[in-house]
Structure 1
Amino acid sequence: MGCSVLFVCLGNICRSPTAHGVFQKMVSDVGLMDEIQIDSAGTGDWHIGRGPDPRSQAAAQSRAYDLSALRARQVCAEDFQKFDYILAMDNSNLQDLRKMRSAQDTCHLGLFLDFASASAVREVPDPYYGGEGGFDEVLDLVEDGARGLLATIQRKLAEQG
């Protein structure tokens, strides 16, 4: 049966690949890589084919997450049928995704940090134009959201038997 998750930000070079890499490691650590499909994408098309921002990669690497194999792509209409969860990093991306979604799409579409428990923050801030500390803040938020998302999916998989 399994489950599939798509993380979405604007350019797919900072926040969503960070979420992708963090969640992938957590899923791997609990032995569910065969059960959970993970991807990331951007609502914009500026960085298609490029790897994550070097600052995102460095921050992730400092916590043993490897983003080097990821490449930016743009969200497409098929994603709404392919994924069970489409999770936006902020409200602006969520609005863009809602405009793309058709009436028959049944995936869970919402904010990634709705799954976070330790923070009252609901949007992952874009670190692109900020200082180096922004990338660590993104990781803190993403780790919290990823733990909550994984727990939710593990419960769902257990119910499916």
Structure 2
Amino acid sequence: MTRKRTPRILFVCLGNICRSPTAEGVARVQAEKAGIDVVVDGAGTGAWHIGEPPDRRMQAAARAAGYDLSALRARRSVPADFERFDLIIAMDEENRRELEQIRPAGNDTPVRLLLPYGSSGRRDVPDPYYEGGFDAVLRMIEEATEALLDEVAGGLAT
């Protein structure tokens, strides 16, 4: 009997301090509650916040909704992520384009946007770092991540 490999998903935003750590934390909790075996991580396309915890405002919104992001630390996405992960989820189109620029030649790991998995009708998760709206961003991420995990449970969403 062959054991099915645990799917590995990387969530990516700009600095890895607001949207992608939230998606990582939400996905981890939702997967655990649903009994879905998945490995999740987060990264940013920029290097400004490497080693820093998520933005305190995002942590507060997440904590109020039952998610603890305090142990997460920002890191930058690297070409090796395309080999380590089965699916890379970008928070917006700019992040998706930046990821494509570091994709190793010949690699076919899917890079998708998060929000099309949900029902918001939006493509890009707004960046609350400058615009605010941390609670609204959290709700968008929760809804889309739940739909993503539903697909993962039925076989990795590619």
TM-score (norm 2): 0.93
Give me the whole-angstrom Cα distance separating, in 2, the residues matched to 1:137 and 1:24.
19
Residue of structure 1 equivalent to 2:64: 62
Q: CA RMSD in A?
A: 1.1
Aligned pair partner of 2:49 in 47, 50, 56 = 47
Shift of 1:104: 1.9
Q: Which runs of 4+ in 1 moved over 4 A?
A: none
Give me the whole-angstrom Cα distance separating, in 1, the residues matched to 2:107 and 2:40.
19
Shift of 1:2: 1.2
Residue of structure 2 equivalent to 1:110: 112
SS at match of 2:89: strand
Residue of structure 2 equivalent to 1:147: 146
Give me the whole-angstrom Cα distance separating, in 2, the residues matched to 1:43 and 1:52.
15
Shift of 1:94: 0.5
What stretches of structure 1 of length at least 5 have no aligned partner?
A: none
Alignment size in residue pairs? 152
Contact residue 45 and residue 73 of structure 1 kept, 8 A:
yes
Matches within 5 A, 1:110-149: 110-116=112-118, 118-131=119-132, 134-149=133-148
Give me the whole-angstrom Cα distance separating, in 2, the residues matched to 1:76 and 1:98.
11
Give me the whole-angstrom Cα distance separating, in 2, the residues matched to 1:108 and 1:29.
26
What stretches of structure 2 of length at least 5 have no aligned partner?
A: none
Shift of 1:152: 0.6
- AA matched with 1:127: P
Give me the whole-angstrom Cα distance separating, in 2, the residues matched to 1:112 and 1:119.
11
Contact residue 8 and residue 85 of structure 2 kept, 8 A:
yes
- AA matched with 1:123: D
Shift of 1:137: 1.2
